Amino acid sequence: MLNMKESFGQRAILTIKKILGKNIFLCDSCQFDWRGACHNRERPNVTRCSDYKKRGK
Ligand code: SF4
């Protein structure tokens, strides 16, 4: 979902992951990461998404 507010803690976690060089984008591990399944215009660079579902579950 677009325009979701992030809490201070969530922003801090993202910042730490960036500093550590970890992947911060959810789409890379989401089962909907293909054009026919996801119409979010921010894909594949989403860091927060209410529709996220881990691939393989
Ligand atoms: S549902 Fe969300 S996390 Fe999954 S591919 Fe679409 S935008 Fe990315």
Predicted confidence pLDDT, tens digits, the chain (57 residues): 444 577 899 899 999 999 999 999 999 999 999 999 999 999 999 999 999 999 987
pLDDT in the model for residue 18: 92
Environment class of residue 46 by beta-carbon count within 10 Å: exposed (0-12), middle (13-18) or buried (19+)? Answer: buried
Rounded to the nearest whole angstrom, what is the distance from the C-alpha of residue 56 to the centroid of ligand 1?
14
pTM beyond 0.85: no
Answer whether 47 contacts ligand 1 (Cβ < 6 A).
no
Give CA–CA dist 42/40, Å, rounded.
5
| Structural domain spans, the chain | 1-57
> Which ligand 1 atom sits nearest the alpha carbon of residue 26?
3
